[in-house]
Amino acid sequence: MKRMLLTLLSLTAGVILAQELPPAEIVSGDAKYAGHLQGICCDEDAVYWSFTAVILKTDYAGKTLLEVPISAHAGDICMHDGKIYIAQALSGKADIEKTGGKSWVVVMDTSLNEVKRYAIPDTPHPDGITFLDGSFYIGEDKYGKDPHPINVVNQYDANFTLQKTHTFEIGTTQYGVQTMGTALGHLWMGFYMNPRKHGIVRFDKNMTFVEGFPSPNVSVGICAAPARFSGAKPRFLVGENISVETEAKTRLFAGRIRFYEFDDQAFQQLGK
């Protein structure tokens, strides 16, 4: 009996240890994409990266599993019910004429096949996207590059019928909400801010501001960690850009993901 109990304790400790040891970082590979990292999402087996005109699937070691082109501008992405949802604001005239619209949510399966798309004319410049409690939330880049205090998030039902438009102020930002993730029943968002008042901002599902934190900067990617890397406290994957300058003076991009844990007061990077 004692031996059995020790065995069970050992197995339990092994499971807990495995859950507490996500990789220190995940790198998407060499810097080769013309567009920078726009957003990330994940499931138990893979990470999905949006690089403006490419959707990439890697394992948790950064090995490329699949890669498909997508008409620019692909923004943030999220995972819901086994599907990948991509906020897309088309910029090319031919693409707009071909699809019959400028702003879309593109739905892909985990093999990166497009299975559906939804027109979202109420959000002509979509970027951040996530799903919480029966609703999709999509950031609208209403004011562009010019610094502005007001931001807009449109809330949709599961079929992308507009439910509500939320406006809010968190400080001076450029463009709209860049990235979104969910945890603890709340929305976690990244913005371009200069000066950077918040690296990550927390809202409830009614888009009421809860709190902001100076770091990490999640403006190019955030999602909740999968169960295999879960812990006693919420954990997140946070994306960042890697860029190199070519001989032709152009920039090419890759992405890096690091894991963070939230302890109710601050975010701590894991695996340093």
201-218: pLDDT as tens digits: 999 999 999 999 999 999
Q: State residue 215's pLDDT score.
A: 97
Flag whether pLDDT at 14 surpasses 60: no
Cβ neighbours around 188 below 10 Å, total: 24
Q: Using pLDDT thresholds of 50, 70 and 90, give the confidence band for residue 19.
A: low
State the residue for tokens 């031996």: 3
pTM for the whole thing? 0.92
Q: Output the CA torsion 28→30→36→41 (10° steps).
A: -10
Question: Whole-angstrom Cα distance, residue 176 to residue 144?
Answer: 7
| Residue 208 identity (one-letter amino acid) | T
In terms of DSSP H, where are the helices of the chain?
Answer: 2-19, 93-99
> From CA 120, how far away is CA 172, in angstroms rounded?
26
Q: Among 13-17, 33-37, 260-264, which stretch is predicted with the lowest mean pLDDT?
A: 13-17
Token duo for residue 9: 């304790």
Q: Which CATH superfamily is domain 32-269 in?
A: TolB, C-terminal domain (2.120.10.30)
206 burial level (CB within 10 Å; 0-12, 13-18, 19+): exposed
Instruction: For the chain, give every domain's residue range.
Output: 32-269
pLDDT, mean of residues 252-266: 98
Q: How confident is the model at residue 195 (pLDDT cuts 50, 70, 90)?
A: confident
Backbone φ, ψ for residue 17 (5° rounding): -60, -45
Each residue's pLDDT tens digit, 128-166? 999 999 999 999 999 999 999 999 999 999 999 999 999
Mean pLDDT of 115-132: 98
Ranges of H-type helices in 132-243: none
Q: DSSP letters along 158-215, please?
A: TT--EEEEEEEEEEEEEEEEEEEEEETTEEEEEEEESS-S-SEEEE-TT--EEEEES-
Does residue 20 surpass a pLDDT of 90?
no
